[in-house]
Amino acid sequence: MKKHLPSIASILAGVIPIVILIVYFDVPRKLIIGYGILSWIIGVGLFKMPVYHLVVVKFLHGRLSNKWLGITQGLVSAFSELGSALIFFHFVLTDLSLPQLIGFGLAAGAVESVILPFIGNPFTGTPLEKHTADMEQKMSLNLSMQWMGVLERLIAMVIHIASRGLIYVSMITFSLLPGIIAVVTFAAVDGRGYYALQEKWAFDNIKVLKKFYLFLAIIALLQSVSFLFFSYKYLHLLKF
């Protein structure tokens, strides 16, 4: 039972915030469980993964350095996931309150938090398959590492919420700066992660993992402060 606690905590980390938003902030279930998750599915399943496998893996690997591959994959992730969110903001969810906007962003982080304990190696069939599999196996034997994974999911949820919030603010204010901050910081997270895997960072080493998560936390803080700043600046455009 003890070994399953991190997976249970990861699932609860995704479910509990959704319940709170629905019950106490009257955020419609359709917005989170429907539109929010659908946006994530489209961004990852229809945009990011096909581009990754057909362009990054088949064409760019072997042609670009690890640094530029990381930058490229980071931008692919940012434009795919945040681009999908922008499509929903523009055509479907044109008038959101702040709790609703948070719920939409939370959906992406929540669905990842819930499904990750059940999926296999996401890099199967790619040049990163072996190293990722080795790291997953070693980390699965260390309970402390698994709890660190729960922390990573919580930080990722903040990043998903803040980045999508910045995209929404950018759209309703016709200001490029919030959108640029969202794309650059989101790309930095996924790009650094991809670079780290290519460089075969020892993520089974707690010191390496702490440094990487510190980077994620700094990005999450930067995004959150930016989102709160622009939300306050354009307070008259956001409903509560």
Q: What is the pTM of this model?
A: 0.94
Number of domains present in the structure of the chain? 1
Please identify every stretch of the chain with a pLDDT value under 50, giving residue numbers as ranges.
Answer: none
Rounded to whole angstroms, what are the CA distances from 231 to 14, 101, 106?
24, 11, 17
Q: Residue 234: what pLDDT? A: 67
Q: Residue 119: what pLDDT? A: 78
Q: Which two tokens stand for residue 98?
A: 């702040």
State which residues form the domain around 180.
2-237
Q: Residue 238: what pLDDT? A: 60
Q: Residue 60: what pLDDT? A: 96
Q: Residue 147: what pLDDT? A: 87
Burial (CB count <10 Å: 0-12, 13-18, 19+), residue 60:
middle
